[in-house]
Structure 1
């Protein structure tokens, strides 16, 4: 038997996790995405995560 993930709406998640989200907003998070084909880098993107 597998695990179950319960989904919530965006608004409910924000309401239920205010402290967690406040902590996230203090951190300068970003995501780095690099696409590579063979030995050449196709593109590299860095984006800030807006919590």
Structure 2
């Protein structure tokens, strides 16, 4: 399943991204700051740099 999480760098989001990725889901996290990308990759999520405002 492909799952997209808004606020992808928050504490809950990072934990959820790790769990979903570990069970085999494709996870993308929406973030505003490109420098947060490595943190998402480290938990198995694809970073998507985007400002929803």
Higher RCO (CA < 8 A, seq sep 6+): 2
Pair member with larger Rg: 1
- Please, what TM-score do these two structures have when normalized by structure 1? 0.32
Structure richer in helix, relative to its length: 2
Structure richer in strand, relative to its length: 1
